[in-house]
Amino acid sequence: MKLCVAQARAVKGDILSNIENHKKIIALAVSNGADTIIFPELSITGYEPTLAKELATELHDERLNVFQDISDEKTVTIGVGVPLKTAAGITISMVLFRPQESRNVYAKKYLHADEDPYFVSGESSISLLGEDGDVALAICYELSVPQHVEDAYKCGAQFYLASSVKSTGGIENAFDRLSRIGSEYDMMVLLSNAVGESDGFQCAGKSAVWDSTGAVLEQLDATSEGILILDTDTRTAMSVII
CATH number for the domain that contains residue 186: 3.60.110.10
Number of domains in the chain: 1
**pLDDT at position 131, please?**
85
Written as one letter, the residue type at 65 is N
pLDDT at 14: 98
How much is the pLDDT for 176?
98
pTM of the model: 0.97
List pLDDT tens digits, range 143-192: 999 999 999 999 999 999 999 999 999 999 999 999 999 999 999 999 99
Question: Going by C-beta distance under 8 Å and a sequence separation of 6 or more, which residues neighbour residue 6?
Answer: 22, 25, 29, 37, 38, 39, 40, 43, 192, 207, 225, 226, 227
Band (pLDDT 50/70/90 cuts) for residue 126 is confident
CA distances from 65 to 25, 56, 61, 81 (A): 17, 16, 7, 14
- φ, ψ of residue 192 to 5 degrees: the values are -105, 110
Q: How confident is the model at residue 123 (pLDDT cuts 50, 70, 90)?
A: confident
- Tell me what pLDDT residue 18 has: 99
Per-residue pLDDT at 124 exceeds 80: no
User: What pLDDT does residue 125 have?
Assistant: 72
Share of the chain above pLDDT 90, in %: 96
Domain that holds residue 205: 2-241
46 contacts 13 by C-beta, under 8 angstroms: yes
**Start-to-end CA span in the chain (Å):** 23
Confidence of residue 127 (pLDDT cuts 50, 70, 90): confident
Alpha-carbon torsion 198, 95, 79, 208, what sign?
Answer: positive
Contact call for residues 126 and 155 (beta carbons, < 8 A): yes
What does the pLDDT look like over 16-32, one tens digit per residue? 999 999 999 999 999 99
How many angstroms separate the CA atoms of 101 and 200, rounded?
Answer: 37
Long-range contacts of 131-138 (CB under 8 A, 24+ apart): 131/1, 131/35, 132/1, 132/158, 134/158, 134/159, 135/3, 135/36, 135/159, 135/161, 136/160, 136/161, 137/38, 137/79, 137/94, 137/106, 137/161, 137/162, 137/163, 138/162, 138/163
- In angstroms, the CA 76 to CA 73 distance is 8
Structure confidence at residue 40 as a pLDDT band (50, 70, 90):
very high
Give the mean pLDDT of 215-233: 98
pLDDT at 231 over 80: yes
- The confidence score (pLDDT) of residue 166 equals 98
Mean per-residue pLDDT of the chain: 97
